[in-house]
Structure 1
Amino acid sequence: MPEQPPYLAVADRLRQRITSGEWSPGDRLPSRAQIGSEYEVGENVVRRAQELLIAQGLLEGRAGSGTYVAEPRDRLRMVRSWCREQRDGSPFRADMAGLGKRGTWEHRTEAKVPAPAGIAARLGIAEGDLCVRTEYEFLADGKPVQLSTSWEPYDITGGTIVVLPEGGPHAGRGVVQRMAEIGVVITHAVEQPEPRKATDAEATLLGVPRSSLVTHIQRTYMAEDGRPVETADIILPAAHCEIVYEVPIDRV
């Protein structure tokens, strides 16, 4: 068996000191020079070990102050379910209420944005066709837990009362309910989840360390005629959210 890389060995030893209670949440770790001297490794090895534990949520770095043991943060159970999409109002708000938390969100909408190639392919439209793009930051008790960027073809909603997802009488009701108001019946959604590292912008918005693991979900809503009517990129921090899929089963 090949030997473990030095930074992984250091990470394991630091992790053991945290889990054993030698260091408690909020404690400041010794300097990298001190740790390196103790384990007979260079400061770069200690830095990589700490970066790994930061990405895993065990440590947090504070600019100009050092590295600290992170405060525990409950992982949220995020349920992806078509059943929940049928509810009136926001599925996110309902999910957070079920966890005893207050679900809110901030948003920014731009109308008539040309669709980039990848989004156009997912929506079955031509590159450059106009869309309504809405960027969301979802919060649980005021803490960011999810990001989403939604695209809707302007040809479908333009000139209707639901053209702005967060404006008008049906603001915030969710794609399924809003589209139903203009006679567009959504029958199912297609979701493709994949893990990756957060971009710097995503890490800043989610309040997680740079390069933390996130789950990126590409979701597309499909109408009864097979037409895609909305697509979104949903970003959830892996350290703080667990994703559960709830699959309905038709009765025989």
Structure 2
Amino acid sequence: MAKEHEDNRPVAERIAANLRELIMSGEWEPGMKLPTTDVLISRHDASNVTIQRALNILKAEGLLRGQKGSGVYVRDRAPLTIQPASFMAPSDDGQPYRWVSEATKRSQRGTNRIIRVAPVIPPRRVREVLGLADDGEAILRSRIGLLDDEPAELVDSYYPAELAHGTRLADRRKIPGGSPTLLAEMGYPPREQEDEVSARPATTREFVSLELPADIPVIEVFRVVYSNDRRPIEVTTLAKSAHLFKMGYHLPVH
């Protein structure tokens, strides 16, 4: 008989994980004052030192904040649920990129910081989707999406070189209305989007670019956008901090 799997993490990390779930699920609402230390000690059958270590882990992640002379509180902002389908369609005439307009609906300010635009040999899985040889090139547009001036996502988008060369896709300037609008204007309207979502530890690049406060995992999305005849016109990898964001999908049942 196989040995039962046990949680061998330090007790403080286990308690922090359980408290983290209460925050991420909304069971503990933004701004809520935590139970007293004595209550937490009793509830988790742990020492004061262990409880303080657990709370400090969550404070370092930005999930909790201490208020001198008052207590410990849940951060004021709930995890934000992003609906990926909201960003697929071209923007309406004269309207900004949907990253900006969707942020405005949530009373936030959405902006983008372009990091790099260049021809590159993309990662293997991108080459496979685009049908490129091992030394085949694509145009990379790398950016950081910001919400209220704080980094929210690190995005690398790849476009077929023959499609992107000589267009704004290969230009470092921002694209009015975003890439979906430009692609539609070029005769390649986005028709379908496939997302592969996973969670993993952050790379150094992600840790720095997203200004992560601690060793927090990221949500990774590998996205393929297709145009007419299921031609792949954009392959994107993006990373978001898992303690600030959730991915939301609405799928009709046929």
Q: What is the match of residue 11 of structure 2?
A: 8
AA at the equivalent of 2:113: E
Matches within 5 A, 1:1-252: 5=8, 7-9=10-12, 12=15, 19-21=34-36, 39=49, 53=58, 57-58=62-63, 71-81=75-85, 85-88=89-92, 89-159=96-166, 161-164=167-170, 167=173, 171-247=175-251
Q: 1:33-90: per-residue Cα shift (whole Å, max 9, x none)?
A: xxx9965x8xxxx97x578646864369xxxxxxx98854432221111586243331
Aligned-pair distance for 1:177?
Answer: 1.4
- Could you tell me how far 1:102 is from its partner in structure 2? 0.7
**TM-score of the two chains, using structure 1 as the length reference:** 0.72
Q: Name the structure where strand makes up a greater proportion of residues.
A: 1
- Unpaired runs of 5+ residues, structure 1, are 24-35, 61-67
The 3 A distance-change label for structure 1 pair 178 and 199 is same
Partner Cα distance (1:55, 1:189) in 2: 36
Q: What does the per-residue CA deviation read over 1:95-143, in whole Å, with 9 as the maximum and x for residues that have no partner?
A: 1111101100101233222233232112222222222111111111111
- Classify the secondary structure of the residue corresponding to 1:85: coil
CA–CA separation in structure 1 for the residues paired with 2:178 and 2:253: 23
Aligned to 2:116, the other structure's residue is in SS state: strand
Amino acid at match of 1:149: D
Equivalent-residue separation in structure 1 for 2:9 and 2:88 (angstroms): 47
CA contact (8 A) 2:115 2:143 kept: yes
- The DSSP-based 3-state class of the residue aligned with 2:119 is strand
Q: TM-score, normalised by structure 2?
A: 0.71
State how many pairs are aligned. 222
Cα shift at 1:221: 0.9
For 2:170, what is the secondary structure of its paired residue?
A: coil
The structure-2 alpha-carbon separation of the partners of 1:22 and 1:165, relative to structure 1 and needing over 3 Å to count, comes to farther
In the alignment, residue 212 of structure 2 is paired with which amino acid?
Answer: V
Tell whether the 8 Å contact from 2:129 to 2:232 is kept in structure 1 after alignment: yes
1-structure distance, mates of 2:109, 2:182? 23
| Structure 2 CA distance for aligned equivalents of residues 198 and 243 of structure 1 | 17
Distance 1:218 1:143 in 2: 22
Gaps of 5+ in 2: 23-32, 39-45, 66-71
